[in-house]
Structure 1
Amino acid sequence: MKILISADMEGATGVTWPGDVLPGSEQWERCRPLFTSDVNAAIAGFFDGGADDVVVNEAHWTMRNLLLEQLDDRARMLTGRHKALSMVEGVQHGDVDGVAFVGYHTGAGTEGVLAHTYLANSVTGVWVDGTRASEGLLNALVAAEFGVPVVLVTGDDRTCEDAAGWAPRARGVAVKDYVSRYAAVCRTPARTAADIRAAAKEAAGLAVRHEPARNGPFTVELEFDAEHLAGAATVVPGVAATGERRVAYTSDTMYDGIRCFKAVTTIVSAATEEQYG
């Protein structure tokens, strides 16, 4: 049994504000071991449940946040940026039985600790076929096209609630409870590690590949906090304006859809000015 762990940081134990996840900051350094602890707990639980191979795909910001020197020796880690499928890179090779979303968060424009979708700001909402989408939903749709179920989701309580809509069978672990975008009631690392490990052990039993989903085409719509960002996004072929601050595109598969999404957010990020957005 092979498990892919997609590891994001905003949903990690103890993380509540931007400085906790911004590479290079003092608080980021402090939170890296907490992030690594959550991932290690998932690794241990999956091996407890019978996994033979666990690969961790670093999925936060620069994708160089986890502490390799503290990682469970039984696992391997994919670190670094510019991967074809970004947060779920590796799911496409036909040998993954289940994927875990560790340290995930809710989507832009919704309640949740450090809620956003790909960009920390600028994007105020994302919809897939009219349904508001988080990164979890987007990535789950990609995984489904390769027959890989989402078996574990960890993050704040709102993230677990969100996941119930797109991965209803997955085990969920809330490591903190939402108070505001920058505040949460946090559980201790010892407690969250135990909870994640136990849930991952159970989740291993759900790691069974299924027939690849064929649910496309998908229409993806994005809303931005400034109209010029919508204009910038239309540089991407197939992306059209649907309002002053909205664009949309349609892709036959979510494999293509997530790659277009990545292109749009890259261009929008480059078009964002430091002070005025």
Structure 2
Amino acid sequence: MKILISADMEGATGVTWPGDVLPGTPQWERCRGLFTSDVNAAAVGFFEGGADEVLVNEAHWSMRNLLLEDLDERVEMLTGRHKSLSMVEGVQHGDVDGIAFVGYHTGAGMEGVLAHTYLANQITGVWLDDVRASEGLLNAHVAAEYGVPVVLVTGDDLACEDALGYAPEALKVAVKDHVSRYAAVCRTPVRTAADIRAAAKEATELAVRQEPQNAGPFTVAVEFDAEHLALAVTVVPGVTRIGERKVAYTADTMYEGIRTFKAVTTIASSAVEEQYG
């Protein structure tokens, strides 16, 4: 049995503000250990539940945040950027039985600690077939196309609530409770590691590969905080403006949908002009 862990940082233990997750800052350096603790706890729990392999896919920012030397020796880690499926790279090869979303968060425009969707600021909302979408929702649809169920989600309490919509059967572990976008009531890493480990062990039972699901076509809409970003991303084939600050596109599969979304966000981020956005 093989488990893929998609590891994001905003939903990690103790993380509450940008300085905790921006590479190169003193607080990021400190929080790397907390992030690694959450991921390692999940991996150990999956091994205890009967997994033979655990692959961790780094999914935050530069995708070079986890401390490899602090992970269980049985874990393998995929680190670095420019991967075909970004946050869920590795799910497409037909050998993954279940996927865990560790350190996840709510989406742009939602309540939640460090809530966003791919871009930290410029996106104010994403919708998948008219449903407001988080990264978890988007990535769960990608995994479903390869028959891989989401078996575990960790993050703040609102991220766990969000996961009820896209992975109702998955185990959920709240490592902190939302107070505002930049504040939370946090549990200690000793406590969260124990909770994540126990949940991962139980979640292993849910790691049963399913028939691939293709619920497409999908319509994805993205709203930005400035109209010039909406204009900029229309260079991506199939992306059209549907409002002053909003664009949309349709994809036959979520494989295509997430890759187009990646192109849209990459272009939008390159079109940001310093403090004016």
Q: What is the TM-score when the length of structure 2 is the normalising length?
A: 1.00
Q: Deviations over 1:233-254 (max 9, x none)?
A: 1010000000000000000000
Amino acid paired to 2:238: G
Q: Which amino acid aligns with 1:199?
A: A
1:182 aligns to 2:212 (yes or no): no
Corresponding residue number in structure 1 for 2:98: 98
- Indicate the residue corresponding to 1:199 in structure 2: 199
Partner of 2:143: 143
Matches within 5 A, 1:1-277: 1-277=1-277
Deviation at 1:36, TM superposition (A): 0.2
Q: Aligned AA for 2:245? A: R
| Unaligned runs of at least 5 residues, structure 2 | none
Offset, 1:5: 0.1
For residues 249-272 of structure 1, give each alpha carbon's deviation from its aligned partner in whole angstroms, at most 9, with x where no partner exists: 000000000000000000000001
* Aligned partner letter, 1:30: R
Q: Aligned equivalents of 1:133 and 1:249: distance in 2?
A: 15
Distance in 2 separating the partners of 1:132 and 1:181: 18
Q: CA deviation at 1:214?
A: 1.4
Counterpart-to-counterpart distance in 1, 2:35 and 2:223? 30
Q: CA offset at residue 190 of structure 1? A: 0.2
Find the residue that maps to 1:73 and give its secondary structure.
coil
**Residues in 2 aligned to 1:197 and 1:149: alpha-carbon distance in whole angstroms:** 19
Paired with 1:48 and 1:129, the residues of 2 have a C-alpha distance of 38
Looking at structure 1, the residues matched to 178 and 274 of structure 2 have their Cα atoms a distance apart, in angstroms, of 28
AA at the equivalent of 2:45: G
* Distance in 2 (alpha carbons) for counterparts of 1:256 and 1:173: 30
Distance 2:82 2:72 in 1: 25
DSSP 3-state at the match of 1:141:
helix
Structure 1 stretches of 4+ moved >4 Å: none
Residues 156-178 of structure 1 show CA distances to partners (whole Å, capped at 9, x for unaligned) of: 00000000000000000000000
Q: Partners of 1:262 and 1:155 in 2: how far apart?
A: 23
SS in 1 for 2:241: strand
**5+ residue gaps, structure 1:** none
Normalised by the size of structure 1, how large is the TM-score? Answer: 1.00
1:273 Cα shift?
1.1
Superposition deviation, residue 120 in structure 1: 0.2
Instruction: Report sequence identity in percent.
Output: 81
Please give the secondary structure, in 1, of the residue aligned with 2:208: coil
> SS of the counterpart of 2:55?
strand
Deviations 1:32-68 (A, max 9, x none): 0000000000001000100000000000000000001
Shift in Å, 1:274: 1.3
Q: How far apart are the structure 1 equivalents of 2:97 and 2:206?
A: 9
C-alpha separation in 1, matches of 2:253 and 2:63: 25
Instruction: State the superposition RMSD in angstroms.
Output: 0.3
> What secondary structure, in the 3-state scheme, does the structure 2 residue paired with 1:103 have?
strand
